[in-house]
Amino acid sequence: MSAVSGPPAASGVAGFPFDTRARTDLRLRTVATARRVRDRFATVALCAALVVAAVPLVAVVVVLVAKGARWLGWDFFTSDIPRVTGRVAGACEGVDAALREKYGLTCGTPRPAMGPAILGTLLSTGLAALIAIPVGVAAAVYLNEIGRSSRTARAVRFLSDVMTGIPSIVMGLFVYTVWVVRFGTAGPSAFAAALALACLMLPIVVRGTEEVLRLVPDELRHANVALGGRGVHGVLRVVLPCALPGITTAALLAVARAAGETAPVLFTIGMTYSFNAAPWGPNTTLAQQIFEGAKSGDPLANRLAWSAALTLVVVVFSLSAAARFIANRYSTRLGG
Amino acid sequence: MAILPSTRPSETSVAAAIPSTYGVETGVAGTDNASDGQGTLHSTLPHQAQPGAGPDPVFEVRNLTVRYGSHVAVRDVSTEIARNEVTAVIGPSGCGKSTFLRCFNRMNDLVEGCRVEGTIAYHGVNVYDPAVPPVEVRRRIGMVFQKPTPFPRSIHHNVAYGLRLAGVRQGIDDLVETALRRAALWDEVKDRLNASALSLSGGQQQRLCIARAIAVEPEVLLMDEPCSALDPIATARIESLLEELKGRFSIVIVTHNMQQAARVSGRTMFFTTETDEHADRHVGVLVEHDTTERIFSNPRDERTENYVTGRFG
Ligand SMILES: Nc1ncnc2c1ncn2[C@@H]1O[C@H](COP(=O)(O)OP(=O)(O)OP(=O)(O)O)[C@@H](O)[C@H]1O
Ligand SMILES: [Mg+2]
């Protein structure tokens, strides 16, 4: 057969369904040229979009590391935050020792350090997690296991959706009004900040946990009941253990989100430059230090801000990575 | 104060460990609703003419009607379940076999809109008596579902779970082993009791669920198409398991597999659907309940004969 040996006649496109020759000859092109071009174009466009999307991501990381990494070191995590403003740093040289001591001035170029802010971040976020996670998980259990489609459940679901949409600065203002203002100078504290952050985390935990609980198959609940388990018992012994990895993921994501928040902290935590491990008394967080450092004109303050930013990104990234890791293990475990 | 009687002395005394936290002082239920005129659509009540399930039935079902909302799924069933025998429930899809089965351990309570009328007397006490907590019913009447439902925990945990629920604190390991042996699973899992139950095959998972159900020594075992998700070999294993279990437990098994019903059961119930005159819905009714031999060789009712011979329309 001569038709088999030679390449197909490149005479345009065969109309596949109706062309008797094209039906049996694989070498005949049946896809229209225009379509092939469009296909190629779409592929290129998608790749370009990917590159564009990756640019800011990579740029952020590169700039963060370039500007922030230089100052990282043991001291950075363990020392107090140097107290600097443009004016004081410039005026430092002529001031005598007693005055320096009195105003806590550091002369020369003090190395940036962020210890208190790291501690404050962990403290306020941790307290917020202690408040929001138990309450949120309990609410989600109510929504999915008890309330289901009751009036109360629907109201709670609606409210938590609304809460998700509330800007975080409003949460800060709210706690500022109902807590900080009331207690005057004793008001601003890691605990106050934790209250604001907990408001922020709560809806994330509730809806995240509810989603995970919904994934637990009803068959397991029925199996529990058929064995003579009560509903509540089943929730604690069967449903929650099944959902635990998923709940952990939801909680960690909420924590990661809260750790990076600035607005709720601004009014509620006050400001300090030295370590404060107590939930009361003014404190500070990395996000707040970035805010303060970036708006200051002082070069040292700017450097501080960059290093704080890098530290914060590492903290948040670790939390997200942990959430990812647990989520993956969860899915493989359920799979077999 | 009389608790739900547990008449079969239990070797491992698990039954004794089950806390009996409530009392029931109802008289013998069963005849209270018997005079309800629900059978008006019936021309005949064939099962009433049948021999009972022996001298000492575990369950006496009287005028059982189950509704989902306004839809009558099972209408006016009166019958008995024999002790220490396998009773097969057969019938076309949608005739209410699962619905009927779920009445015995009150699993229908979980179904929204499901209403059960009539009585099911378990050793003389109505399962639906308001004074009987459903939890107590389910501890005495085990159930195995169509799809294996192991908890995503260890094999050991799965079997121990029911025991712990029943208040057993000591000797759990031995009881777990006994249950797994009875479920013919021990040899396959004895080296990996702490492995996830989900790492077992479907057939093994189903035997694990059976082990979990029988670990607490229930008097009755309800099974809703327990082999429908299994291959023939796993099915054969479960069938031979039923053979061994039937001396200890009264078993009610729903099956679509006629050969299976003929192989494993001593008695068979045949359900079918009737068309309701008033609504355009199908209603499940019990047509015939007799020895399996009789049902398959010489049934009284023509519908039964048509079904078991494969001529069902
Ligand atoms: N949860 C429910 N809500 C409403 N109707 C239901 C529900 N479960 C079952 N039914 C109806 O009750 C009737 C009997 O259902 P059932 O599941 O008991 O049948 P079955 O004999 O077990 O069928 P199959 O052999 O297919 O399992 C059917 O008409 C079904 O539509
Ligand atoms: Mg069914």
Whether residue B25 is contained in a domain is answered as: no
Cβ distance A334 to B145 less than 8 Å, yes or no, reads no
Nearest to B120 by CA among B228, A314, B132, A140: B132
Q: Please give the distance, rounded to the nearest whole angstrom, from the Cα atom of residue B232 to the centre of ligand 2.
A: 20
B137/chain A closest Cα distance in angstroms: 8
Among A104-108, B48-52, B74-78, B122-126, the range scoring the smallest mean pLDDT is B48-52
Average pLDDT over residues A304-322: 89
Cβ distance B209 to A222 less than 8 Å, yes or no, reads no
B50/chain A closest Cα distance in angstroms: 31
Nearest chain A residue (CA) to B223: A226
| Residues of chain A contacting residue B149, judged by C-beta atoms under 8 Å apart | 217, 219-220, 222-223
Which residue minimizes the CA distance to atom 24 of ligand 1? Answer: B93
- Comparing B69 with A31, the larger pLDDT belongs to B69
Q: What is the pLDDT of residues A168-223, one digit of tens each?
A: 999 999 999 999 988 876 788 999 999 999 999 999 999 999 999 999 998 999 99
Whether residue B170 is contained in a domain is answered as: yes
The reply to whether CATH 1.10.3720.10 applies to domain A115-335 is yes
Contact present, B6 and B15 (Cβ < 8 Å): yes
* Test mutation, B139, B141, B151, B209, chain A, max A CBs within 10 A: B151
Give the per-residue pLDDT at B53.
56
Average pLDDT over residues B277-298: 87
Who lines ligand 1 at CB under 6 A? B 68, 73, 93-99, 111, 284
Average pLDDT over residues B56-84: 93
Which residue minimizes the CA distance to atom 31 of ligand 1? Answer: B94
Whether residue B6 is contained in a domain is answered as: no
Q: What are the backbone angles phi and psi of residue A8, rounded to the nearest 5°?
A: -65, 150
* Test mutation, A221, A227, A331, chain B, max B CBs within 10 A: A227
Nearest chain A residue (CA) to B137: A228
Cα(B289)–Cα(B102) distance, integer angstroms: 18
Q: What percent of chain B has pLDDT over 70?
A: 80
The whole-chain average pLDDT of chain B stands at 82
User: 3-state DSSP call for residue B123?
Assistant: coil
Cα-based torsion angle of the residue sequence A175, A179, A184, A190 in order, rounded to the nearest 10 degrees: -70
Q: What is the pLDDT of residues A254-312, one digit of tens each?
A: 999 999 899 999 989 988 888 999 888 899 999 999 998 888 877 778 888 888 999 99
Q: pTM for the complete prediction?
A: 0.75
**What ipTM goes with this model?**
0.78
Give the per-residue pLDDT at B36.
39
In total, how many domains does chain B have? 1
Residue B12 CB partners (closer than 8 Å, separation 6+): B174, B175, B178, B217
Whether residue B20 is contained in a domain is answered as: no
- Quick one: pLDDT band at residue B26, thresholds 50, 70, 90? very low
Q: Which domain holds residue B172?
A: 57-308
Q: Please give the distance, rounded to the nearest whole angstrom, from the Cα atom of residue B224 to the centre of ligand 2.
A: 7
> Is the per-residue pLDDT at A92 higher than 80?
no
> Is the per-residue pLDDT at A121 higher than 80?
yes
Give me the CATH number covering residue B235.
Answer: 3.40.50.300
Whether residue B260 is contained in a domain is answered as: yes
Q: Which residues pair with B71 in a beta bridge?
A: B68
Cα(A212)–Cα(A244) distance, integer angstroms: 9
Strands B114-122 vs B59-68: parallel, antiparallel or unpaired: antiparallel
Contact present, A179 and A195 (Cβ < 8 Å): yes
Q: What is the pLDDT of residues B136-173, one digit of tens each?
A: 999 899 999 999 999 988 999 999 998 998 888 999 99
